[in-house]
Structure formats: C-alpha cells, structure tokens
C-alpha cells in the first residue's frame, strides 16, 4: 500500500489540476472539478470549501461544469441542491464539443472576415512586432501561411531545425496544401541537407512547390534561423541561444528592397 504525506497529496492533486487546465478547463473549473471528483457529490458550500473558493464563485463554476457535461445537479426531498460529478470519461465529449464549436466558428469567420479586413487600417509607416519564447515565435512564423505571393527564404538550419523541427514540418505541409510557393536560399551543411531529404526528398511535387538553392562556404557568417520575405512583410526567426527572438516588419518598400537582393543571390546560388 502506498501512503501519501499531506505535501505529496497536494502535489498529486495539483498535477491533475494542471492537466485539466491543459485540456481546456479554466483554473477555477479545474479546481472545482477535482474537488467534486474527490467528494463524489456535495452542496455548493461543501464543494467550494473543498476547493478553497467562496460560495458564489463555486456556484457559478458548478453551473458551468453542468453545461460542459462534467457535473450534474439534483435536489432530493426538497433539500439543498446537490451537485454530482460526472465520470472523467465525459472529458472526451467535452473536448469533442469544443472541437465542433471551434470548427463552426471557423466557418462563420469566413463570412465576416472580408468585411473586417476592409475595416482594418494600416499605417503607411513600417510596423515592427517582436516575440520571445518558442510559442510566441511560432505564432509570428505561422503568418507565412497567409502569404499571397511566393515566399523568399534565407535559411540556416543549424541550431534552428533542432529546436523548431515540428514547426517547420507543419508549415511546409500547410503551405503545400494552400499552394503557397517558396524559394529557399539555404546555407549548405549536414543539418540542412538531412532536413531537406526528410521533408522534400523523393517528393517531386513538394520540391516543385518549394525550390531550394544552396549557399556554400558561408561559415564565416554567424547565423542561425530564417528570414522570410513575402507580400509587404519580412519575418525573422533568430534561433541562437543568445538571441531566441522573432520579429515581423511590415513595409512594402523594405520588403521590395530585400526581394531585389534575394533575386540577385538566387541567380548565383547552386541548384544542388
């Protein structure tokens, strides 16, 4: 038999509360649901006390959990309303409902997006956005999936693909599905050639969508990451440990200047 100290028990419960939050429950929803699972059933006051929340907050959250299908309410013999925990496997249905709701909203967005876009005003002066941390950097990187023109990329995969491998593979697949083309000037090294073979090797359609040319003997430059130029934007992912930052510059003039430089380099680079 395994025995838990009070400290162990608190950590144990916190771990499951964190997992419920990762599944989409709000922090107080996760705390109340865990308290309800432990009690099995109880009044608002009992469950709120167990969760260390006030009664009013507990009531609102319990009603929300009922809407999620994770709790139920009953009143027996005219006594105070009692809440019962639904079994944890109902979390699957909760997530399925969220998925369907998100898909429906995405469809609704298609109808309203053109009108919203027409209202969106941009300053003629360049705008610059910065992001730090892997998730925020990926959010900026994924703006390439909105590209309306060919993406020009200058790329050094060493110290880049090791960190953002999944992101690069995902955007490559999505670009291909959307028909967004890309020209890549890649610094040639063992990491870049291995990544190219994994993503594009023996896939002629993918190679046609994403053309690579190679830059050799560029080790004198200290680079890691990628610069992407398309439409009126320049997106940079700087992945050296001392930098680890992403930026997006929106300026048609600046983007066009870099496109000229890219085209000149493209003519000089090697196909293989």
Task: Tell me the C-alpha distance between 41 and 43, whole Å.
Answer: 7
Which pTM value belongs to this model?
0.59
Check for a shared fold between 6-90 and 127-268.
no
Tell me the pLDDT of the chain averaged across its residues. Answer: 86
Residue 79 has pLDDT above 80, yes or no: no
Number of Cβ atoms within 10 Å of the Cβ of 154 = 21
Residue 8 banded pLDDT, cuts 50, 70, 90 = very low
Transcribe 5-70 into DSSP letters: -HHHHHHHHHHHHHHHHHTT--HHHHHHHHHHHHHSEE-HHHHHHHHT--HHHHHHHHHHHHHHTS
Q: How many helices (H) does the chain have, and how many strands (E)? A: 10, 10
The pairing of strands 233-238 and 245-250 is antiparallel
What local confidence, expressed as pLDDT, does residue 7 receive? Answer: 45
Beta bridge partners of residue 42, listed in sequence order: 83
Q: Give 219's pLDDT tier (boundaries 50, 70, 90).
A: confident
Fold annotation for 127-268: Endonuclease; Chain A (3.30.870)
Cβ pair 96, 103 in contact under 8 A: no
Helix (H, G, I), strand (E, B) or coil at 78: coil
The Cα 146–Cα 148 span in angstroms is 6
Return the pLDDT at 5: 45
Half-sphere exposure of 103 (CA within 13 A, CB side): 6
What is residue 141's predicted lDDT score, i.e. its pLDDT? 93
29: Cβ–Cβ under 8 A, 6 or more apart, which residues? 20, 61, 64, 65, 68
For the chain, domain boundaries:
6-90, 127-268
**CATH node for 6-90:** 1.10.10.10
The closest alpha carbon to 189, from 208, 163, 165, 161, belongs to: 161
């Amino acid at each position: 038999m395994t025995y838990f100290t009070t400290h162990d028990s608190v950590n144990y419960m916190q771990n499951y509360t964190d997992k419920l939050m990762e599944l989409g429950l709000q922090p107080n929803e996760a705390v109340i649901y865990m308290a309800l699972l432990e009690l099995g059933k109880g009044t608002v006051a009992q469950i709120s006390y167990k969760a260390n929340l006030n009664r009013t907050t507990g009531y609102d959250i319990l009603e929300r959990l009922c809407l999620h299908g994770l709790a139920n309410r009953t009143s027996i013999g005219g006594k105070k309303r009692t809440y019962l925990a639904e079994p944890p496997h109902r979390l699957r249905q909760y997530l399925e409902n969220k998925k369907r709701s998100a898909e429906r909203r995405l469809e609704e967005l298609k109808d309203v997006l053109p009108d919203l876009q027409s209202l969106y005003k941009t300053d003629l002066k360049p705008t610059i956005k910065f992001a730090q941390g892997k998730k925020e950097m990926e959010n900026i990187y994924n703006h390439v999936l909105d590209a309306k023109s060919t993406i020009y990329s200058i790329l050094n995969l060493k110290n880049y693909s090791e960190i953002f491998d999944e992101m690069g593979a995902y955007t490559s697949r999505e670009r291909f599905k959307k028909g967004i083309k890309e020209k890549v000037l890649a610094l040639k090294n063992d990491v870049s050639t291995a990544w190219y073979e994994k993503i594009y090797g023996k896939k002629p359609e993918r190679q046609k969508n994403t053309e690579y040319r190679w830059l050799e003997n560029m080790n004198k430059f200290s680079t890691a990451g990628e610069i992407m130029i398309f439409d009126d934007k320049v997106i940079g992912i700087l992945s050296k440990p001392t930098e680890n930052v992403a930026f997006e510059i929106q300026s048609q003039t600046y983007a066009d200047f870099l496109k000229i430089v890219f085209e000149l380099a493209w003519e000089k680079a090697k196909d293989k």
